[in-house]
Amino acid sequence: MITLDALTKRYGSSTAVDGLSLAVDSGKVTGFLGPNGAGKSTTMRMILGLDEPTSGSATIDGRRYRDLAYPLREVGALLDARALHPQRSARSHLVAMARSNHLPLERVDETLDRVGLTDVARRKAGGFSLGMGQRLGIAGALLGDPAVLMFDEPVNGLDPDGVLWVRNLMRSLADEGRTVFVSSHLMSEMQLTADHLVVIGRGRLIADAPIAEVIAGSSVTSVRVRVPDEHQRDRLRRTLAMTATSIEPDGDDLVATGLSVEQVGDTAHAEGIRLHTLETQHASLEQAYMELTASSVEYVAGSTSVPESGESR
Amino acid sequence: MTTTTLHVPRPHGGALSGAIASEWVKLRTVRSTLWNVLSGIALTGLVATQAAINLDHEGGTASYSEPAVSAIQFSQFVVAALAMLVITSEYSTGSIRSTLQWTPERHTVLAAKAIVVAPATFVVGIVLAATGSLAAIPWLDGTGTSDLGPLVENFLLIGSYVMLVSLFTLGLGTMIRSAAGTLTTIFLLLLVAPMLLVSSENDILRGIGNALPGGAGNAFLTQNTDQWGPSLALVILVAWVCAALLAAAVTLRARDA
């Protein structure tokens, strides 16, 4: 379990992470979302002891990362797949890594095999494609068979096969009872992979809830009702308009937001209106996310510079 | 964790021994290490040849290892570059973040690097001493002696000197982080500043020159007694090394990766 307690990081006058408190539980895939510059990478770097918090703490099962004697046996992390010497072979990189934590060298070959890099293990890591580099980074995270795993944008640069592979890997790691904490920009991917979501914006916690709850909480979640009779449809529309956030006609249908499917059904019944369809339309995670973070997007399109990735430091 | 437990046996040994083993793997698995050693050998051979020809011209007797001592003044920078790359390449490639992720205790990381760099550069120093001596033999027909005493002494002096300069460079490189900045700084402190100051007419400036790592190092390497004896020169050089490594430890601990 990863625990953040009022975790704060300031760089001069700017605050990258602002009093973040949360717990990332084991046995689940927890998605870590937020716009560019929200503080995701800074948070992950503080969990790994790479950056020192200005105040507050980040602990893994109650201990600071820097206090772990053999950290790779407890926490595996892929933060930046490029954080390696490009002239060194993939295997040598993992051997150096294994040596540092007294891991047996068989683990190196097992892990290379698991990520599918056995054939290129002796090639220089600098010549790897983005996807291969990403696999090598994942191999590093898995090397010590840790109970806690963190991945920063793991599907970056992977082909569709690779994306599917990462998705299944995350799921199986969580199903094995491990803590899996994954940041991503790809909402559709998170919707398929994550059980729980942590959303931050401008360094602050915006949401920390099961994914279903985040989606259900979106105002974009709507009720679609089909009324075959035009007069009845108009009447239902006027009645619902009194309580709904919005209501829009769509052919024979009405689409209402801010109302539950029960409320719409009961209203129709009370009015004696004949219905053909009555269903909830869930927002996508993307819509729910956009709504949550709308006020905290640091870089809005149209402004002079839009960093592609990497948080402000 | 009730899982497909993979066979990862419990660790034997501490974080420092792991970090040392890791640093050793890293040092020998980059091509630049080999190039450094090879170019150090080539440079030492060339300069020692030149020095031997001059020495023979002067007459008298000299150990075959004398030209190697002269050559080290130049090839020390190639060895220092090897030590420097142990840290600066990690900053330029970003792999320092990996290193600190594997070994989060920063003093352990620096200690491991120093413990690997010291014997490695000592051995490289001995190899360069041998190279320089071998290159000199054909040119020292009348003047050369193969007395074991001075030969062994010069070999050990070169090995120790190169090792201390390398550790000093490792410390500076950790603080400065960039290769260009580190090389410039060691050039200034080991060669340029001492050379200018030592030739000064002013006693104080000359004293400063002799107290800089280059001045003290040279007095130790050549067993020169102009300003202070070689023993005191060694103490000064070691003090510089300790200061650089301590300052490196402080900055590495304080800085975010």
Tell me how far apart the alpha carbons of residues A143 and A108 are, in angstroms, rounded to a whole number: 7
Looking at beta carbons, which residues of chain B come within 8 Å of A48?
101, 104
Give the one of B26, B95, B104 whose C-beta lies nearest to A49's C-beta: B104
Q: Which residues touch A189 (CB under 8 Å, ≥6 apart)?
A: A155, A163, A167
| A-chain residue closest to B99, CA distance | A97
Is the confidence at residue B95, as pLDDT, over 80? yes
B interface with A, Cβ–Cβ below 8 Å: 1-9, 11-15, 17-19, 21-26, 29-32, 89-90, 93-105, 256-257
* Distance of residue A163 Cα from the nearest chain B Cα, in angstroms: 23
Q: Give the closest residue to A32 by CA, choosing from A196, A249, A266.
A: A196
Give the one of B22, B90, B105 whose C-beta lies nearest to A99's C-beta: B22
B108 neighbors B15 (Cβ within 8 angstroms)? yes
Structure tokens at B49: 């040849």
| A-chain residue closest to B88, CA distance | A85
Query: How far is it between the farthest Cα atoms of chain B?
Result: 80
**Share above pLDDT 70 across residues of chain B, in percent, rounded to a whole number:** 96
Interchain proximity B94–A145, CB inside 8 Å: no
Tell me how far apart the alpha carbons of residues A76 and A48 are, in angstroms, rounded to a whole number: 10
Structure tokens at A152: 């920063």
For tokens 């003290």, name the residue.
B216
Q: What is the mean pLDDT of residues B50-54?
A: 93
Assess if residue B253 is contained within a domain: no
What is the pLDDT at residue A84? Answer: 92
Interchain proximity A50–B89, CB inside 8 Å: no
Q: What is the mean pLDDT of residues B92-104?
A: 96
What is the pLDDT at residue A200? Answer: 93
Tell me how far apart the alpha carbons of residues A233 and A253 are, in angstroms, rounded to a whole number: 8
Q: How many domains does chain B have?
A: 1
* Distance of residue B252 Cα from the nearest chain A Cα, in angstroms: 11
A30 neighbors A195 (Cβ within 8 angstroms)? yes
Assess if residue B97 is contained within a domain: yes
A246 neighbors A189 (Cβ within 8 angstroms)? no
Assess if residue B54 is contained within a domain: yes
Assess if residue B255 is contained within a domain: no
Is the confidence at residue B4, as pLDDT, over 90? no
What is the pLDDT at residue A109? Answer: 97
Tell me how far apart the alpha carbons of residues A174 and B198 are, in angstroms, rounded to a whole number: 67
What is the pLDDT at residue A303? Answer: 40
Interchain proximity A89–B29, CB inside 8 Å: yes
Which of B33-47, B60-74, B99-113, B126-140 is the least confident region? B60-74
Three-state helix/strand/coil letters over chain B = CCCCCCCCCCCCCCHHHHHHHHHHHHHHCCHHHHHHHHHHHHHHHHHHHHHHHHHHHHCCCEECCHHHHHHHHHHHHHHHHHHHHHHHHHHHHCHHHHHHHHCCCHHHHHHHHHHHHHHHHHHHHHHHHHHHHHHHHHHCCCCEECCHHHHHHHHHHHHHHHHHHHHHHHHHHHHHCCHHHHHHHHHHHHHHHHHHHHCCCCHHHHHHHHHCHHHHHHHHHCCCCCCCCHHHHHHHHHHHHHHHHHHHHHHHHHCCC
Looking at beta carbons, which residues of chain B come within 8 Å of A82?
93-94
Tell me how far apart the alpha carbons of residues A116 and A119 are, in angstroms, rounded to a whole number: 8
Tell me how far apart the alpha carbons of residues B204 and B198 are, in angstroms, rounded to a whole number: 10
pLDDT digits (tens, 9 = 90+) for B209-236: 999 999 999 999 999 888 888 999 999 9
Interchain proximity A100–B8, CB inside 8 Å: no
Q: How many CB atoms lie within 10 A of CB A307?
A: 11
The pTM for the full model equals 0.87
Looking at beta carbons, which residues of chain A come within 8 Å of B31?
87
Domain containing B36 equals: 16-184
Assess if residue B206 is contained within a domain: no
* Distance of residue B73 Cα from the nearest chain A Cα, in angstroms: 30
Looking at beta carbons, which residues of chain B come within 8 Å of A101?
11, 18, 102
B175 neighbors B251 (Cβ within 8 angstroms)? yes
Looking at beta carbons, which residues of chain A come within 8 Å of B93?
82-86
What is the pLDDT at residue B32? Answer: 93
Interchain proximity B102–A50, CB inside 8 Å: no
Tell me how far apart the alpha carbons of residues B215 and B195 are, in angstroms, rounded to a whole number: 8
Interchain proximity B22–A84, CB inside 8 Å: no
C-alpha angle with apex A262: A261 to A267, nearest 5 degrees? 100
* Distance of residue B100 Cα from the nearest chain A Cα, in angstroms: 7
What is the pLDDT at residue A238? Answer: 92
Assess if residue B237 is contained within a domain: no
Name which of B87, B95, B101, B105 to mutate to probe chain A: the one with the most chain A Cβ atoms within 10 A of its Cβ.
B101
Kindly list the averaged pLDDT for each block of 10 residues, start to end, along chain A of length 313. 96 93 96 90 96 96 94 95 92 97 96 96 94 95 97 90 94 97 88 93 92 79 90 92 88 88 91 91 82 68 44 42
What is the pLDDT at residue B231? Answer: 94
Structure tokens at A203: 């360094």
What is the pLDDT at residue A51? Answer: 95
Give the one of A50, A89, A107 whose C-beta lies nearest to B256's C-beta: A50
β pairing state of A253-257 and A246-250: antiparallel
A239 neighbors A232 (Cβ within 8 angstroms)? no
Mean pLDDT of chain B: 92
A6 neighbors A29 (Cβ within 8 angstroms)? no
Assess if residue B8 is contained within a domain: no
Give the one of B8, B24, B95 whose C-beta lies nearest to A73's C-beta: B8
Assess if residue B93 is contained within a domain: yes
What is the pLDDT at residue B2? Answer: 41
